[in-house]
């Protein structure tokens, strides 16, 4: 099983304007997929800008365990020699997914149509997350599952080869479930179809086509022709918009701030937070928009601006589901009453992010009302938070809760203390160092 990290409590309070340039880690969604698809391709792929957080490293370890050769060079470039579609090998030990739901669900899709058996394990947080939404379609394709109670990890699955192509309508908007079915379809004879009524992030579709898969999108239907042959690619991973979101909000709420975030992915299925913040009055300027490997990329200049409350349009939810915690922080500093709903999926993330953020903001002096699918937040009209008064916010082993509340502390009259910031390393190992470089003053506390 995954060994838990020792808790690292953190304290942060206002320290003046944030100024400077930031390069955020490579996009997590693209990093996961680049390792998986390169691991299934013929030839050697080169990947630059890969996010080297624990979640992505869990994907790398799992692909190695199933036969891919994956090496990191001293210059930071990764080389992946793939096994070919259908070539995954039986892993000798359980696949430890750490905290990564993306790794787990997408790799389950890969295994589903290979004649191998794999056991997935994870840390305490991941082991609480239900896998039923992936088990259901993959079972229809012929995979067999033995899961822990509640369809949770640890979980053992036996793939079927050849698997059965299906047409599957997503019951909830989920890029992970969509991707899992498409990846199972890679090694399945015939055509596998996924119907999504609400668009979700489309990195799998873009990248699979780039690797040579026969994949088509017509309206709400994504179809893939199986028994594909993927060809090795050179990949430049753009900056993660979810990681950039913390600095967008921080620069927006801290008076006098002026921060430029370099090389940010601007895929339209990922820019919901930018749209929401602009509706609130944020000053976010996209500079030098360009195309990198089929994805739009830009530099973002964000300057402090007074924010006003909004009712967040529900259709933005799929394009910013991971950014809701830091959007809640922005709402805490806006003028008026913000309603941010339409985010049921937050209940089953690394933590119940709705309940976790309601408790965290409440502890820091913000008036919050919790709904089944989001929060209503009474903003402080630009005034600093009062801090947590010596009490510590519960991060619940969730990296986004820890980072969102660290941002909240950057405009707090007294410190905001977080019980454990160690989980930040799962997605953004350099977050604390970047905060310091911009002028924030985080302080590690005794556990």
Distance CA 348, CA 438 (A): 33
To the question of whether residue 353 is assigned a binding role by annotation, the answer is yes
Q: Is 406 in the same domain as 426?
A: yes
CB distance 264 to 300 below 8 Å = yes
Q: Which residues pair with 155 in a beta bridge?
A: 120, 147
Q: Is 258 in the same domain as 229?
A: no
What pLDDT sits at residue 134?
A: 98
To the question of whether residue 101 is assigned a binding role by annotation, the answer is yes
Total tally of structural domains belonging to the chain: 2
Distance CA 397, CA 209 (A): 35
Q: Is 284 in the same domain as 359?
A: yes
- Residue 378 is assigned to a structural domain of this protein: yes
Higher pLDDT, residue 342 or 67: 67
- Residue 212 is assigned to a structural domain of this protein: yes
Q: Is 263 in the same domain as 172?
A: no
What pLDDT sits at residue 334?
A: 98
Q: Is 187 in the same domain as 299?
A: no
- Residue 1 is assigned to a structural domain of this protein: no
To the question of whether residue 427 is assigned a binding role by annotation, the answer is no
Q: Give the position of tokens 């026969």.
A: 214
Confidence of residue 198 (pLDDT cuts 50, 70, 90): confident
Confidence of residue 2 (pLDDT cuts 50, 70, 90): very low
pLDDT higher than threshold 50 for residue 189:
yes
Confidence of residue 4 (pLDDT cuts 50, 70, 90): low
Question: Residue 205, Cβ neighbours under 10 Å: how many?
Answer: 20
CATH number of the domain encompassing residue 408: 3.65.10.10
| Residue 125 phi, psi (nearest 5) | -65, -50
To the question of whether residue 33 is assigned a binding role by annotation, the answer is yes
Residue 155, Cα to own-chain centre: how many angstroms?
Answer: 22
Q: Is 222 in the same domain as 302?
A: no
Q: Is 163 in the same domain as 188?
A: yes
Distance CA 406, CA 423 (A): 13
Query: What's the chain's average pLDDT?
Result: 95
CB distance 126 to 104 below 8 Å = yes
Distance CA 266, CA 261 (A): 12
191-195 and 152-158: which strand pairing? unpaired
- Among 212, 235, 258, the domain-final residue is 235
Confidence of residue 52 (pLDDT cuts 50, 70, 90): very high
To the question of whether residue 29 is assigned a binding role by annotation, the answer is yes
Q: Is 14 in the same domain as 35?
A: no
pLDDT higher than threshold 50 for residue 40:
yes
- Residue 2 is assigned to a structural domain of this protein: no
- Residue 42 is assigned to a structural domain of this protein: yes
- Residue 182 is assigned to a structural domain of this protein: yes
Helix (H, G, I), strand (E, B) or coil at 154: strand
What pLDDT sits at residue 345?
A: 79
pLDDT digits (tens, 9 = 90+) for 229-279: 999 999 999 999 999 999 999 999 999 999 999 999 999 989 999 999 999
184 Rama sector, left if φ>0, alpha if ψ -120 to 50, beta otherwise: alpha
Exposed, middle or buried by CB within 10 Å (0-12, 13-18, 19+), for 243? buried
Mean pLDDT of 72-98: 97
pLDDT higher than threshold 90 for residue 347:
no
pLDDT digits (tens, 9 = 90+) for 385-403: 999 998 999 999 999 999 9
- Residue 82 is assigned to a structural domain of this protein: yes
**What DSSP string describes 69-127?**
EEEE-TTS-EEEE---TT-PPPPSS-EE-TT-HHHHHHHHHHHHTSS-EEEEE--TTGG
- Residue 118 is assigned to a structural domain of this protein: yes
Q: What percent of the chain has pLDDT over 70?
A: 99
416-418 and 10-12: which strand pairing? antiparallel
To the question of whether residue 349 is assigned a binding role by annotation, the answer is yes
CB distance 390 to 417 below 8 Å = yes
pLDDT higher than threshold 90 for residue 5:
no
Q: Is 305 in the same domain as 366?
A: yes
- Among 209, 235, 261, the domain-final residue is 235
Q: 328 is in which domain, residue-wise?
A: 10-26+239-444
Q: Is 364 in the same domain as 386?
A: yes
Q: Is 165 in the same domain as 36?
A: yes
To the question of whether residue 351 is assigned a binding role by annotation, the answer is no
Locate 210 and state its tokens.
């780039």
What pLDDT sits at residue 359?
A: 97
Confidence of residue 431 (pLDDT cuts 50, 70, 90): very high
Catalytic residue annotation? 322
- Using only C-alpha atoms, the chain has a radius of gyration, in whole angstroms, of 21
Q: What is the largest CA-CA distance in the chain?
A: 61
Q: What percent of the chain has pLDDT over 90?
A: 89
Q: Is 147 in the same domain as 217?
A: yes
Distance CA 302, CA 292 (A): 22
- Among 235, 250, 267, the domain-final residue is 235
What pLDDT sits at residue 279?
A: 98
What pLDDT sits at residue 1?
A: 39
What pLDDT sits at residue 315?
A: 87
pLDDT digits (tens, 9 = 90+) for 103-137: 999 999 999 999 999 999 999 989 999 999 999 99
Q: CB neighbours of 86 closer than 8 A, spacing ≥ 6?
A: 114, 161, 187, 227
pLDDT higher than threshold 50 for residue 148:
yes
What pLDDT sits at residue 329?
A: 98
Confidence of residue 342 (pLDDT cuts 50, 70, 90): confident
Helix (H, G, I), strand (E, B) or coil at 42: strand
């Amino acid at each position: 099983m995954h060994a838990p990290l020792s808790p690292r409590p953190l304290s942060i309070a206002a320290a003046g304007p944030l100024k400077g340039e930031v390069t955020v880690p490579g996009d997590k969604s693209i990093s996961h997929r680049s390792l998986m698809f390169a691991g299934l391709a013929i030839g050697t792929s080169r990947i630059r800008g890969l996010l080297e957080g624990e979640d992505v490293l869990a994907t790398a370890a799992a692909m190695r365990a199933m036969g891919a050769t994956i090496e990191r060079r001293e210059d930071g470039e990764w080389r992946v020699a793939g096994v070919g579609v259908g070539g995954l090998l039986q892993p000798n030990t359980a696949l430890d997914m750490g905290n990564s739901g993306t790794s787990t669900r997408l790799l389950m899709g890969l295994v589903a149509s290979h004649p191998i058996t794999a056991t997935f394990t994870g840390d305490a947080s991941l082991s609480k997350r239900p896998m039923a939404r992936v088990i259901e379609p993959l079972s229809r394709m012929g995979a067999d599952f033995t899961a822990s109670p509640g369809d949770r990890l640890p979980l053992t699955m036996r793939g079927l080869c050849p698997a059965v192509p299906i047409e599957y309508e997503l019951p909830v908007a989920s890029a992970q479930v969509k991707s899992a079915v498409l990846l199972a379809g890679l090694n399945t004879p015939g055509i596998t179809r996924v119907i999504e009524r609400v668009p979700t992030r489309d990195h799998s579709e873009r990248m699979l086509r780039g690797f040579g898969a026969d994949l088509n999108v017509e309206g709400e239907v994504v179809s893939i022709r199986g028994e594909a042959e993927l060809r090795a690619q050179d990949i430049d991973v753009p900056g993660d918009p979810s990681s950039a979101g913390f600095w967008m909000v921080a620069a927006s709420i801290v008076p006098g701030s002026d921060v430029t975030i370099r090389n940010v992915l601007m895929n339209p299925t990922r820019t919901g937070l930018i749209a929401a913040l602009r509706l609130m009055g944020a000053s976010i300027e996209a500079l030098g928009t360009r195309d990198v490997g089929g994805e739009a990329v830009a530099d973002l200049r964000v300057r402090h601006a007074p924010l006003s409350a909004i009712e967040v349009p529900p259709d933005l939810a799929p394009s910013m589901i991971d950014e809701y915690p830091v959007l809640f922080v922005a709402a805490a500093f806006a003028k008026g009453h913000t309603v941010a709903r339409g985010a049921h999926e937050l209940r089953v993330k690394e933590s119940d992010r709705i309940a976790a953020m309601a408790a965290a903001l409440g502890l820091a002096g913000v008036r919050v009302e919790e709904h089944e699918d989001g929060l209503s937040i009474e903003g402080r009209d630009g005034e600093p938070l009062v801090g947590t008064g010596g009490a510590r916010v519960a991060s619940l082993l969730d990296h986004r809760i820890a980072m969102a509340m660290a941002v909240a502390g950057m405009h707090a009259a007294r410190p905001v203390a977080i019980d454990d910031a160690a989980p930040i390393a799962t997605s953004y190992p350099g977050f604390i160092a970047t905060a310091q470089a911009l002028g924030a003053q985080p302080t590690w506390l005794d556990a």
